[in-house]
A and B are shown apart, each in its own frame.
Chain A
Amino acid sequence: DAKTTQPPSMDCAEGRAANLPCNHSTISGNEYVYWYRQIHSQGPQYIIHGLKNNETNEMASLIITEDRKSSTLILPHATLRDTAVYYCIVRVKTNTGNQFYFGTGTSLTVIP
């Protein structure tokens, strides 16, 4: 059970904002939303995470809807190096700790 759904692929023009959507309609109140990306042949790289409030860091912004059933990752000025698979993940508290549920991700292609 991935707990998240994402479009399989998206394109974005270089220099434009890339907006990657994610649905997590079954998310519970204490479950965080995480975003990672994976560039070909590398391990996934952490981008950002949030619970309720919108978050921003040097890489991206995360917008979470008020009902928390969906979120959007925003790369404000996409570059060719942002071409990667982007995973939206829900972190679930279990009896033993935290479990991360990865979906199949969105393959983002930044076009020159």
Chain B
Amino acid sequence: GAGVSQSPSNKVTEKGKDVELRCDPISGHTALYWYRQSLGQGLEFLIYFQGNSAPDKSGLPSDRFSAERTGGSVSTLTIQRTQQEDSAVYLCASSAGGTQYFGPGTRLTVL
């Protein structure tokens, strides 16, 4: 069956521009997570959606970062006024309540 998909796979942008990253979770998975992974580092939690509950935004590094999950399925992570330190791989995972399944990630490069 289809796994978690993310788009685009690569994104190059200029400092100060806004970017949107998309995640399509596994169908039926109620939980969706966003992580960030800088080069050579571990995963940094950003935000977590669970069903219709208010999202856990405790990992968002600044108010330039936001995320939505429409209809309990697709999620979009938005980074406004990008900075060079935002360059990283952004990973999405979905879960049916236990194990997380990860997408391939979006590599963001801010010039």
A-side contacts of B53, CB under 8 Å: 96-97
Encode contact with A along B29-56: 1 for CB under 8 Å, 0 otherwise: 0010101000001110100101101101
Asked if A44 and B91 sit within 8 Å, CB to CB, the answer is yes
Asked if B98 and A98 sit within 8 Å, CB to CB, the answer is yes
Known contacts A34-B99, A49-B99, A97-B48, A87 near B42 by CB under 8 Å: yes
Asked if A46 and B101 sit within 8 Å, CB to CB, the answer is yes
What is the interface of chain A mostly: helix, strand, loop, or mixed?
strand
Known contacts A102-B43, A103-B42, A96 near B54 by CB under 8 Å: yes
**With an 8 A cutoff between CB atoms, is B102 at the interface?**
yes
**With an 8 A cutoff between CB atoms, is A30 at the interface?**
no
Number of interface residues of A (CB under 8 A): 23
**With an 8 A cutoff between CB atoms, is B100 at the interface?**
yes
**With an 8 A cutoff between CB atoms, is B28 at the interface?**
no
Chain A: minimal CB distance from B72 (Å): 13
Asked if A46 and B42 sit within 8 Å, CB to CB, the answer is no
A-side contacts of B41, CB under 8 Å: 104
Asked if A99 and B56 sit within 8 Å, CB to CB, the answer is yes
Chain B: minimal CB distance from A12 (Å): 21
